[in-house]
Amino acid sequence: MKESRGKILIIDDDPFFQKVLSDAFNENGFTVFNASDGIEGIKVFLEKAPDAVLSDLVMPRMGGVSTCMEIGRLAGDKQPVIVLLTSMFHEPPHEHDAPDMGAKVHIPKSTKAVDIVIIVEQLLGRKKIQQG
């Protein structure tokens, strides 16, 4: 068993989308944890300390914005890469200088799973460089 390239937490209430994305990350050597809403997502985040969190925007119980902001707050100095997945915006994936709605990166859900993996890989790679 080769070493994991990182831990990814996927928070989404759509089981099909969650599986497609989980499979894509698994196939690329990542360890994946899943949660079906923000409350569960925060619990898993605290237990597993993932390197990246991908959260759906619209979910029951606790939406993506609150989830991302709470994870950012709880993470303190050890900020994961936080990505907000949304089906509401159709512009290409983009990064903000400061977190917007709790996440620096917004990716439309229509983006191919493999492309989402590539974006997260790049963000994790850049984060490693910045941390030295």
pTM of the prediction? 0.92
Tell me how far apart the 2 most distant CA atoms of the chain are, in Å. Answer: 39
The number of angstroms, rounded, from the C-alpha of 118 to the middle of its chain's C-alpha atoms is 13
Question: Which pLDDT band holds residue 130 (cuts at 50, 70, 90)?
Answer: confident
Distance between CA 25 and CA 8 in Å, rounded? 8
Looking at the chain, the whole-number percentage of residues with pLDDT higher than 90 is 64
Which residue bears the tokens 């790049």? 122
Higher per-residue confidence, 21 vs 61: 21
Residue-wise pLDDT tens digits, 27-50 = 999 999 999 999 999 999 999 999
Residues with Cβ < 8 Å from 103, sequence gap 6 or more?
Answer: 55, 64, 68, 82, 83, 84, 96
Q: Residue 65: count other Cβ atoms within 10 Å of its Cβ.
A: 17
Question: Which pLDDT band holds residue 73 (cuts at 50, 70, 90)?
Answer: very high
Question: Which pLDDT band holds residue 7 (cuts at 50, 70, 90)?
Answer: very high
Residue-wise pLDDT tens digits, 81-101 = 999 998 876 677 778 787 777
Question: Which range is least confidently modeled, 15-19, 59-63, 96-100, 125-129?
Answer: 96-100
